[in-house]
A and B are shown apart, each in its own frame.
Chain A
Amino acid sequence: MHNVKRFLILLIVALAVGAASFFTRATLSAAVVKVPDPTKVVMIVDRDSNDIAFMDIASKQIVGRTFLGNNVNPHMVMMSPDGRYVVTGGTRANKAYVIDARTLELVKVIPVDIAPEHLAFSPDSRWYYQGNPEGDSISVIDMLSLTKIKTIPGLVEPLNTVFLPDGSKAYVGNYGAHWVGVIDVRRHELLKKIQVGDVPGVAKLDPDKYLGEIQGINIPQITNDGRYLYATDTDLGVVAKIDPREDKVEKVIRVGKNPWRPYMSHDGKYLITPNNGDQTISIVDLRTDKVAATLEAGENMTGVNFAAGKAFVISSTSGFVYVYDMNSLRPAGRMKIGTNIQLETATTDTKDEKLYLADSTENAVVIIDAKTQQFEKVMNVGLFPWGTHIMDSKDNYCH
């Protein structure tokens, strides 16, 4: 009985200490946590005020802002899939910035290569691949130790990286070449180069075009089921279907002039390429791998979002968003966002109801209701908002 009493006293003391510790920690955490749920905010990368702003989706209020330093000029913002960190590449600082997703404090600045722009996370959030287009490399950052563990060389203006769902390989779009780079994620090494299309024989007659400036591959976009990748080549005007099992091109589909990149519809039926060379969009049927429709669009298209059964195509310098019905594949109107403005890129909420479009010259984010095609502007989100991001959105992309 005496022993039982001692055990009971020990237990009560342990529970009391534990409870005190828990409540103390909870109180401390509550004081600094600005974003309790990372899925409930829109991240806005402000290029010219050099910060990341966090807007609460429900209240449309800016709940926090992380300043990165003058002349950093962040390019793309992304949250790690586990919701722990928000990262961005400071294009003019040659550094990667790691922000705590809950407290919004800048916790690490990591030197990378020249002009970091677009980035990607491995599905398990372990690896952060920061593309450095002017360094022709990718910096590999270990998100456990928050250190750069490697720089992958041998790429040519790497614009975007996409990981396979199992995280075993990553695919890199080289805008300065006509091949997709395959990276072995275990070793963080370039495994293979996949050429997406042949340069036509008449190219030698046109050195101004083919030797003057190259516009190759922006991104190898993965299908929703993870089975294939589709990569556009801007100069060649094609979309290549890549089988990642064998890392070979299965089919080459000719689309409009100067396709920017592919965007996958959320139902997995179509992809869209905005063709800035002839101001059209090509809608490719992924079941047949054929162009299902080529429709008139606008100038300087920078993105495509999908919501409410429609596609929204952003025409940057015209101030318009073009709308297409994805059931009938017909034009469904054009939204005039403003006059003398410049639109950037957008993200879609996880319910596929609203778009959050960066309106850079108005320092605003435009919230578009996909169903009604009405919109409202949230002003003063920062200087020159360049892009937006919502955790788990299917339309997280950058220019």
Chain B
Amino acid sequence: MIRSRLALFVGAALLTASAASAQTSVSGRVSNAQGGVIANAEATVRALPPPGATPMPNMPNMPQPFERTATAGADGTFTLTGIPAGDYVLFVDASGFERSSQTITVGNQPQNLTITLTPLILPGAEEPAGAAGSVADTAVLLERIKQLEQRITDIESEAVLSEPETRVKRIEVYVDQNGVQTDQPAAGAKKEVTYQRERVYRRQTINEKIEQALADADAQAVKIGIDATTVTQGAGRTTGDPDRPDMKAYALASADLFFAAKLAQYTSFFADVVALSGAPPDREIPSLTLLNGYTARLVNQNELNLREAWLRTEFFGQRLGLTAGRLDLTNYFDRNAFSNDETTQFLSDALVNNQMLGLAVNGTGVVADYDPKNAFNFKIGFQQSNPDATSLSDSIYSLAEVGYTMTPFSLPEGHYRVWYRANNGDVESKHAVGLSLDQKLSPVVGVFGRYGQQQIPGDWDRYWSTGLSFATGMVFNPLDTWGIGYAQMDLASGDKEHLTEGYYNFQLTERLRLSFMLQHVLDRQSDKFGYLLPGIRLQAAF
């Protein structure tokens, strides 16, 4: 037993002796640029990867390199012993100085090095004790001048404004009866909210300053937008009484002026003033639905009309929004993604709105929309349906809708809605219900559909539409869109309408669009008539 232990000790000692024979030491003296001694510096040698090692080994599996550290004494000297021959990086750290690093090759002989450290000067930081205590004043000043020269070069290189920034912050403080304010709770003091400027050390370039100023001014200004559109259409009779108009041209120009402003936290104002002039085909062709969706806005020729003016505010973490004022209630309901905008999509009203929503005039109203952003959303609203009514209670038009967003059967997103309408005014139809969906079939193709029916005494009027929309593919330019759609009206009176439309919308610039459309309408009313209507729509919006 004693023999075996003895053998172990002897073996270990031999190994130590053998290792010692291949090792050497690295020593050095640490000083500043002027030769002054720097005490207590920490010197570390770390092995470099051996020649031929994988250039980019995966770090988690890479062995930790050989490393040894020693602390310099009061005379600034240090010694690292037991260093095998090889390539190393030697780091030297001292408080108040930048790290010194250099590559060294260690052979069989001890090495002695002189290490010079550079003071680490940080603008705004307290003077490092180590640097100040061990360096001559002149040397520090010279180093400072060097640093300042470098800083001037930096500043000149990009014209930086170096004044400290300030900003106003909302803070909570504690105020007692005598008005004494403290940051911490105190006896007899109440917590209050106040505002205070704080100064920060941030520099901005002149460009950043200008952009910030413009953004601030823009946020406070009343925003104005314009949407000017000209629609030119032709109409050729395809069937029907020869006395009906044929080979006619129509044009309608529309200009909307929008105003929007932020009034308070989560509260904004919006107004839309519109002027139209011209002759749309709807004045001569008595189709059940409007062939030009803009015609619905045409109240008086060449006159400015206030279409909308409302306030909107949001509550409960902005989940609930309330909009009140003069508005078009149908704008907020059945917002089909592919067929809801006569300015960029289909022109026919039958492919813009669900005809069973049944409101043509704007009026005073309120809309509440609850959107928790979790796929479901809910809307309810009412509006005065008859501008000539002497009281609101005799002309309430109201709508409610539930919407849901889903991705069925691994398809992209689709939006599904069901709505209900009631109208207690002097109208034939008091109630209506409807469905609406827009579902993407692929990133390029989307399908839409609408259905609605309204109750009239003893029967129902029915409407439906469907179609396809194309975007981001199968187009001439990346942002162009196009679509084809079909709508059918089937009234209890026996009147029917079949309408088909195709459009292509060129997005020429961010503010300019040009659309071509072709419509065909076939109506069966007291007589049967059909028209083919090619059209061009030029829209500028900014």
Contact = CB atoms under 8 A, between A and B. Distances in A.
A167 B154 CA distance: 32
Interface stretch (B195-203, B304-312, B322-330, B482-490): B195-203
Contact of B56 (A70, A167, A295, A328): A167
Interface in B89-115: 89, 91, 93, 95, 98-99, 101-103
Interface stretch (B249-257, B277-285, B470-478): B470-478
B200 A123 contact: no
A147 B103 CA distance: 11
19 contacts: A10-B13, A14-B16, A49-B200, A69-B125, A71-B123, A94-B157, A100-B93, A111-B150, A114-B157, A124-B56, A146-B91, A147-B101, A168-B55, A200-B477, A209-B510, A296-B373, A331-B374, A383-B198, A383-B200
B160 interface: yes
A48 interface: yes
Contacts of B318: 320, 336
Interface string B2-14: 0000100110111
A106 interface: yes
A146 B99 contact: yes
A92 B405 CA distance: 46
B373 A384 contact: no
B407 interface: yes
Contact of A7 (B13, B48, B201): B13
Nearest to B53: A124
Given A71-B201, A109-B120, A293-B407, 8 more contacts: A70-B201, A105-B95, A123-B58, A200-B479, A292-B407, A293-B413, A294-B440, A383-B198
Interface in B356-391: 372-375
Given A11-B13, A292-B412, A294-B412, A328 B477 contact: no
A168 B56 contact: yes
A295 B57 CA distance: 41
A190 interface: no
A189 interface: no
Contact of B154 (A49, A93, A205, A292): A93
Contact of A123 (B13, B59, B412): B59
Contact of A108 (B99, B406, B407): B99
A334 B374 CA distance: 8
B507 interface: yes
A28 B55 CA distance: 34
Contacts of B203: 71, 73, 92
Contacts of B55: 124, 167-168, 186
Contacts of B506: 202
Contacts of A295: 405, 413
A68 interface: yes
A395 to B, nearest CB: 19
Interface string A4-24: 100110110010000000000
Interface of B: 6, 9-10, 12-14, 16, 46, 48, 55-59, 62, 69, 71, 89, 91, 93, 95, 98-99, 101-103, 120, 122-125, 150, 154, 157-158, 160, 162, 164-165, 169-170, 198, 200-203, 265, 317-319, 372-375, 405-407, 412-413, 440, 442-443, 472-473, 477-479, 506-510, 512
A237 interface: yes
A48 B510 contact: no
A166 B54 CA distance: 10
Contacts of B57: 124
Nearest to B125: A67
Interface of A: 4, 7-8, 10-11, 14, 25, 28, 47-50, 67-71, 73, 81-82, 92-94, 98, 100, 105-109, 111, 114-115, 122-126, 134, 144-147, 165-168, 185-186, 200-202, 205-206, 208-209, 236-237, 253-254, 290-296, 320, 322-323, 328-334, 336, 339-340, 361, 383-384
A330 B59 contact: no
B508 to A, nearest CB: 5
Given A7-B10, A69-B122, A329-B413, A25 B58 contact: no
Contact of B372 (A71, A134, A333): A333
Nearest to A47: B202
Contacts of A124: 55-59, 62
A329 B319 CA distance: 21
A276 B84 CA distance: 58
A320 B413 CA distance: 22
In the A-B complex, the 8 residue pairs with the closest CB atoms: A167-B56, A70-B124, A69-B122, A48-B200, A334-B373, A107-B99, A206-B509, A291-B443
B16 A11 contact: yes
A330 B412 contact: no
B16 to A, nearest CB: 6
A339 B169 CA distance: 13
A398 B438 CA distance: 36
B373 A333 contact: yes
A47 B95 CA distance: 24
B59 to A, nearest CB: 5
B443 A329 contact: no
B373 A322 contact: yes
B48 to A, nearest CB: 7
B59 A254 contact: no
Nearest to A84: B46
Contacts of B406: 328, 330
A320 B512 CA distance: 33
- Among A47, A144, A333, chain B packs the most CB atoms within 10 A around the CB of A144
B142 to A, nearest CB: 18
B101 A146 contact: yes
A98 B101 CA distance: 13
B101 A294 contact: no
B93 A105 contact: yes
A111 B150 CA distance: 10
Contact of A206 (B265, B373, B510): B510
Contacts of A71: 123-124, 162, 164, 201-203
A8 B154 CA distance: 64
Contacts of A106: 120, 122
B9 A8 contact: yes
Nearest to A6: B13
Contact of A330 (B14, B62, B123, B407): B407
Given A69-B124, A202-B477, A81 B201 contact: no
Given A145-B89, A292-B412, A334-B372, A205 B508 contact: yes
Contact of A202 (B12, B99, B440, B509): B509
A135 B200 CA distance: 26
Given A49-B200, A134-B158, A331 B405 contact: yes
Nearest to B99: A107
Nearest to B154: A94
Contacts of A107: 93, 98-99
